[in-house]
A and B are shown apart, each in its own frame.
Chain A
Amino acid sequence: MRLDTMAQVIRSKNAGPCLLTFDLMLPDEATFAYVGARIATLRQKVALAYGRSENEVAVLAYAPALAVKITLPRDIVSGDVGDRDVYGAQQHAPLLDMDL
């Protein structure tokens, strides 16, 4: 299933100037459990899509908000030469059609 058909929110933002953090907010317990059971696969796919090694990608399930959080390093520190997204708010696009 594609992430954009499963999640209610798919967003990205800086977590400090060096990291990007992504939130997938899921609509119900069942969908949260579905994604939660595939954390390792999700991590693999995110690493591939963002050109990172798996050990640079942190994925964790956050039950209180039925959310999955992904955090990885920015390619360029926020606002440095060549950065294209100072706030990191549009880096979620590669997640939208990701199949899980």
Chain B
Amino acid sequence: MTAIARLLDDFARRRRPLRSLGASGQLGYGIPTPAFEAGLGRAPDMIGVDMGSIDIGPNYLGSGKLAPTRGGAKRDLRKVLNAARRLDIPLIVGSAGSAGARPHLDQTLAIIREIAAEDGLRFRMGVVAADVSPGVVKQALRAGRVRPMDTMPPLTEADVDATSNLVGQLGLEAFRRALEADVDVVALGRACDTGIFASIPAMLGFPPGIAMHMAKIVECASLCCSPGGRDTILGILDDDGFELESMAPSRAATPASVAAHSLYEQADPFEIREPAGRVDLRDVTYRALDSRRTRVEGARFEPASGLTLKLEGASFLGHRALLLAGVADPRFIARYEEIFAAVTTVVRNLVCEDSPEDYRLGFRLYGVDGVRAWAGAPGQMPREAFVLGECLAPTPERAEEVIRTTKQYLLHHGYEGRLSTAGNLAFPFTPPEVMVGPAYRFNVFHLMEVDDMASLFPVEVETFG
């Protein structure tokens, strides 16, 4: 009998609260053992871990690279896989490899296979890839079924063709279909984090609004506590609400800390938007059970009229090369804008003698305008500042040529009032030019109307041992 079958069977015989363990909100960056072990001692019904985020920027989605290190991901996966098999409870992994496209999912599955072989684990795993074929999106585009999210421009077919990876955020239903394939472990590509913890409640018939609200909180582990942190959290769900308790004694889930969590990385703290509808948090109440546990009630689910899929895509921008240097001459710092502009022209005249201007060169002066494009100069210029030069070019060789030329001419540029005629820059090391590889941008962040998720995102089952 699989872990999910055993759980469903148990609930069929005796309906009771469901105990979910949020082991990690960012698998691959470490799961503190004491709190995780404490959680395993509390008779959990399932373990869930999220790996995903769009905050990490477009590079991982575009390049297909894991956001955590392979070693970190393997250590954490080993911990949760062994625990779930030992207790014979379902393990659910969302947004495999962070960006959750096929290359990330494949690398995560390869790690799981290694662990299964090395540790002699036996289980069935349900997998759903989140990749969407460009053809499907273009067809939807032509049918007027794609619209921009937030401030994105309308999607074009050229955008779709330019993506190096294109995924849709799988929802609760995809997790549920994977579980219904009668498995012990579920691993999904890019997915809504709520699906990790709301899918089993959906199969057991718990109210969806309350379940999704709990899911949204426990997927971040103990981040909803005071002080917030990455320790494992226990969520206990019943038909009227849920209770939260951090498995780290130093962290308290208080009504204020849990309520404040609704603000985190969300534009609207009163709602959770999901592919299948929205959860209204307007009437939610938070009540302290004791100094470390809070009970939450009142979330309401409103189903959407149709299914929508949030698309995420990244396209290649060019190869990036950097120049890292410091300055401490107030004359340079005062004139940095004209110096950067003059050197940009000098460089262009040199590197474009027999080639087109096929690159972008930019500068930031940390200490002055590194973090924000401020309106106006600061009241007082800094004593020292950091120069970041950045070039994006079609090839690594071109990016390197431009940035090395820039380094030479910025070092020796003769600006008005210059006293330091031996050199303008302090290099912290050599070479001060760094090649950072291919760069990407988000070019798809849109909503697509979908009729049938199951045909777009089929479940694959793999058996170990």
Q: Chain A interface (Cβ within 8 Å of chain B)?
A: 13-19, 21, 23, 25, 51, 58, 60, 62, 64-67, 69, 71, 73-75, 77-82, 84-87, 90-91, 93-94
Contact = CB atoms under 8 A, between A and B. Distances in A.
A78 B55 contact: yes
Contacts of B264: 13, 23
B58 A65 contact: no
A84 to B, nearest CB: 6
Contact of B259 (A64, A69, A71): A64
Given A78-B442, A93-B372, A15 B362 contact: no
Interface string B349-386: 00000000000101010000011110100000000000
B441 A21 contact: no
Contacts of A21: 263, 265-267
A90 B371 CA distance: 7
Interface string B434-445: 000000111001
Given A13-B265, A69-B263, A77-B441, A84 B370 contact: yes
Nearest to A93: B372
Contacts of B317: 81
- Which of A23, A51, A93 has the most chain B CB within a 10 Å cutoff? A23
Interface stretch (B81-89, B90-98, B147-155, B208-216): B147-155
A90 B373 CA distance: 12
A93 B371 contact: yes
B442 A84 contact: no
A65 B259 contact: yes
Interface string B100-132: 000000000000000000000000000000000
Given A16-B149, A80-B442, A93-B371, A62 B266 contact: no
Contacts of A51: 375
Nearest to A49: B375
Interface in B400-432: none
Contacts of A15: 265-267
The interface residues of chain B, by DSSP majority, are classed as loop
Nearest to A51: B375
Contact of A65 (B150, B262, B268, B441): B262
CB-based closest 3 A-B pairs? A79-B57, A18-B150, A64-B259
B372 A25 contact: no
Interface string B54-65: 111111000000
B445 A79 contact: no
Given A77-B442, A78-B442, A67 B265 contact: no
Contacts of A80: 58, 441-442
- Which of A14, A60, A64, A73 has the most chain B CB within a 10 Å cutoff? A64
Interface residues of B, number: 39
A84 B365 CA distance: 11
A87 B373 contact: no
A77 B444 CA distance: 11
B202 interface: no
B150 A75 contact: no
Given A17-B54, A77-B152, A80-B441, 14 more contacts: A14-B265, A15-B265, A17-B58, A18-B150, A19-B151, A77-B441, A78-B442, A79-B59, A79-B442, A80-B58, A85-B371, A85-B372, A86-B56, A90-B372
A19 B371 contact: no
Contacts of B372: 84-85, 90-91, 93-94
A44 B375 CA distance: 17
B265 A75 contact: no
B188 to A, nearest CB: 20
B166 to A, nearest CB: 15
B286 interface: yes
B394 interface: no
A87 B264 CA distance: 13
Contacts of B259: 62, 64-65
Given A13-B264, A15-B265, A25-B260, A73 B150 contact: yes
Contacts of A85: 371-372
Given A19-B267, A64-B262, A87 B55 contact: yes
Contacts of A69: 263, 267-269
B55 A64 contact: no
A94 to B, nearest CB: 8
B54 to A, nearest CB: 6
Contacts of B288: none
B150 A16 contact: yes
22 contacts: A18-B149, A18-B150, A21-B266, A23-B260, A23-B263, A51-B375, A62-B269, A64-B286, A65-B262, A65-B263, A67-B263, A67-B269, A73-B150, A78-B54, A78-B57, A78-B58, A80-B442, A81-B360, A82-B362, A85-B371, A86-B55, A86-B57
